[in-house]
Structure 1
Amino acid sequence: MKTIFVSGTAGSGKSLLTSKLLDYYARNGAFAAILNLDPGVDNMPYTCDIDVRDYVDYVSIMQQYELGPNGAMVMANDLIASKIDEIQNDVNKVNPDYLIVDTPGQIELFAYRSSGRFIVDNISTEEKTNIFLFDGSLITSPVNFVSIALLATSIRLRLNLPTINVLTKTDLIGDKLRNILQWSTNLKTLENAIGNETDGDTYTLTTNILRGLNLGGFAQGLIPISNLTGEGFGNLEGALSRILNLGEEVEG
């Protein structure tokens, strides 16, 4: 059993990508299952095999402890960590080839609290990786691109997992797609774009962050995908296989 965490900013398409990955593996003869880690989600584009809402009732927490939505989400996510043995038992009963984990919409609740890292470390499977989603609609400017790249690097540091960076909503950003892909592979091109858009302190700060990311090995490119058309899923699966299966890809 291999585990794939799906992370990214709110609205970046995590749940939809999760459902598309499930479909992709099913079409290619692999048994995949989904673990939902978001206790506050209402509707999902898939049927959960393991659902933390079966263990933690977000609305009841809010009412019982007189908490606001954010406070209840924090408590709910910490309570989920206390249920990790039960969650693992349910995962073992399903026993898929691939466990796809849809993380909470509020990424800071999962990645930056100790409970999130605890969950990552204590889901017991052979290999693990993380897909971080770059929301194409958010990174059409070079400064925004660097900001999300910094977040992606921070999440990678927090979760301590090999990470695949994916560009979503490629069908919505038109001509900007070419620019984004160039920025992700050619740091000089990105630095020039920053210079054309900014000056002063913003330019200095952004380029310093960029150079730090480059030293950290960020410049590995993005895998563009479309949840609408399915374009790019073969490349994504290939990247997953290089991490999870030592390069042996799922055969169609």
Structure 2
Amino acid sequence: MKVIFVAGTAGAGKSLLASKIHEYYTANGAFAAILNLDPGVISLPYTPDIDIRDSIDIVSIMKQYDLGPNGALMMASDLIAAKLDDIQDQADKINPDYLIVDTPGQIELFAYRTSGPYFIDNFRADQKTALFLYDGVLVTTAINFVSMALLATSIRLRMGIPAINVLTKTDLIADKISEILRWTTNLKTLENAISTEADGETYVLVTNILRSLNLSGFAQGLIPVSNVTGEGMVNLQGALSRILNQGEETED
């Protein structure tokens, strides 16, 4: 069993991409399953094979502990770690080739509290990788792109597993894709774009951060994908294969 954790900011398209990856693997002869790890989600574009909502009920937590929605989500996030053994047993019984994990919409609750990294580290699998979704609509400006790249790097450090950067919603930003991809490989191009958006102090701050972290290294390999058209799924599958299957194709 190989596990793919799908992570990103709220609204980046995690659940829909999880469903598209499942469809892609299934169409190509692989046995894939989806684990919904978001206890607060109301509706999903897929039917989960394993659902944390079967074990954790946000409404019940709010009533039992007299919490608001945010407090209940925080408690629910921590309870995910306590359900690890049950989820592991369910996954082992299904025993898919690929388990796609749709992580909570509030990324800070999963990645920055102890429960998320604990779950990733202790879940048993042959291989693990993560997808970090760059919301295409949000990263059309250079400042937003840098902010997202820094977040992606931070999340990767927290998760501690190989990660693939994915640019989503490309069908909505067709005129910006080429420029965004240039930012991932050409630091000077990105700095020039920042200079047109930021004042002197902000420009100096951002460019110093970029140079110290070497953006061309940590944002390289951004894969454009559209959940609507399916464009980019072949390239994404190839990147997943290189990590999970040592480059072997998924087809039988």
Provide the TM-score with structure 2 as the length reference. Answer: 0.97
Q: Does 1:188 align with 2:188?
A: yes
Q: Which runs of 4+ in 1 moved over 2 A?
A: none
**Conserved in 1, the CA contact under 8 Å of 2:134 and 2:166?**
yes
Q: Give the AA of the match of 1:53.
A: R
2:148 is aligned to 148
The unaligned stretches of length 5 or more in structure 1 are none
Provide the TM-score with structure 1 as the length reference. Answer: 0.97
The unaligned stretches of length 5 or more in structure 2 are none
| Identity value in percent | 70
Q: Are residues 219 and 117 of structure 1, via their aligned partners in 2, closer, same or farther at CA, if it must alter by over 3 Å? A: closer
1:130 is aligned to 130
**Cα shift at 1:216:** 8.5
Aligned residues: 252
Q: Using the alignment, how far apart are the partners of 2:216 and 2:175 within structure 1?
A: 29
2:119 is aligned to 119
Residue pairs, 1:32-47, within 5 angstroms? 32-47=32-47
Q: Give the AA of the match of 1:52.
A: I
**Cα shift at 1:219:** 3.9
Question: How far does the alpha carbon of each residue in 1:144-174 deviate from its partner, in whole angstroms, 9 at most, with x for none?
Answer: 0000000000000000010000000001013
Q: Are residues 82 and 154 of structure 1, via their aligned partners in 2, closer, same or farther at CA, if it must alter by over 3 Å? A: same
Q: Using the alignment, how far apart are the partners of 1:249 and 1:187 within structure 2?
A: 33
1:209 is aligned to 209
Q: Using the alignment, how far apart are the partners of 1:157 and 1:216 within structure 2?
A: 17
1:228 is aligned to 228
Q: Using the alignment, how far apart are the partners of 2:67 and 2:219 within structure 1?
A: 42
| Aligned-residue RMSD, C-alpha | 1.2
DSSP-derived class of the 1:217 partner: helix
Q: Using the alignment, how far apart are the partners of 1:241 and 1:161 within structure 2?
A: 15
**Conserved in 1, the CA contact under 8 Å of 2:183 and 2:189?**
yes
**Conserved in 1, the CA contact under 8 Å of 2:165 and 2:222?**
yes
Question: How far does the alpha carbon of each residue in 1:128-159 deviate from its partner, in whole angstroms, 9 at most, with x for none?
Answer: 00000000000010000000000000000000
Q: Using the alignment, how far apart are the partners of 1:182 and 1:75 within structure 2?
A: 41
